[in-house]
Amino acid sequence: MSEKLQKVLARAGKGSRREMEKLISEGRVSVDGKVAYLGDRIEGTEQVRVDGHAVKLKSADEDICRVLMYNKPEGEMSTRKDPEGRPTIFDRLPPLEGGRWVAVGRLDINTQGMLLFTTDGELANRLMHPSHNVEREYAVRVFGEVDDAMLQRLRNGVNLEDGPAKFQKIIYKGGEGRNHWYHVVLSEGRNREVRRLWESQEVQVSRLIRVRYGDMELNRRLPLGGWAELPLKDVNYYRRLVGLKPETQSKVKVDEKSIDNAKHRRIRRSVKKHQQRQTTARRRRK
């Protein structure tokens, strides 16, 4: 059976379907030597190139959907490469053969916490898209005077420069003086949306940590800069959440959510080695 070209390219790890549609529209994709067009379908036996580079195609049967949970530190860019040489969220991830990790959304350079990566561009696209209403929860420390009227405005909705926005939930978590912690929930991922919502009320955000995506919380034993691959049941939780068929295979040998002590130590050693390499690289550049 033939499939849409953008779907096949997304499965090959080249990006989300939306990104592939853009590449096709720009004339950057060819099939058997001819420029491809949106709406083209292929059998999977053709020679497909993106920007002149051959793409190794995968059939739906041989492709395994993988998902990583990453605990992003502050100071990392949500991009593959940074022209200023700053560290990126992709620097620490395990290498892939014939594919690439696709980030599920972004966190700005000053935000830390839970970030998901997957080999399935379609899964990433659906988890990000507001039509699926996937909740994101953040722990946020704000500086300034906060009253009930302000919180009600943030729940009801305020107008930002890119349209109305609001928090679905706001839960007070304590604080002292003018510093207070809240947990806030929303189901879209516009650029700096949490910060901009608070700033619309003249309140400054001093710390921001994503702690949940969907119903899955950030693993508390995962150190900053550490990643863990999700077992099959957790991968399928996210697939069902956005209406995709469940996966039947996994690269994770033991289907456990918890990180055992040995694996926890390995993650910490890996993070420490990466930090040492970054420090050495910065010294050489100086």
Q: List the catalytic residues.
A: 108
> Quick one: residue 33, left, alpha or beta (phi over 0 = left, psi -120 to 50 = alpha)?
left
Three-state SS for 128? helix
Q: Would you state the structure tokens that stand for residue 179, as one six-digit string?
A: 């510093």
CB–CB of 60/11 below 8 Å? yes
Instruction: From 127, 69, 121, select the one nearest 93 (Cα to Cα).
Output: 69
N-term to C-term CA, the chain: 56
CB 120 within 8 A of CB 146: no
Q: 197 near 166, Cβ under 8 Å?
A: yes
Strands 216-217 and 227-229: unpaired
Alpha carbon distance 170, 244 (integer Å): 30
DSSP letter for each residue of 108-127: -TT-EEEEEEES-HHHHHHH
Q: Nearest 5°: phi and psi at 41?
A: -120, 150
Rounded to whole angstroms, the Cα distance separating 77 from 86 reads: 7
Taking CA atoms, 132 is separated from 123, 128, 216, 283, in Å, by 11, 8, 16, 45
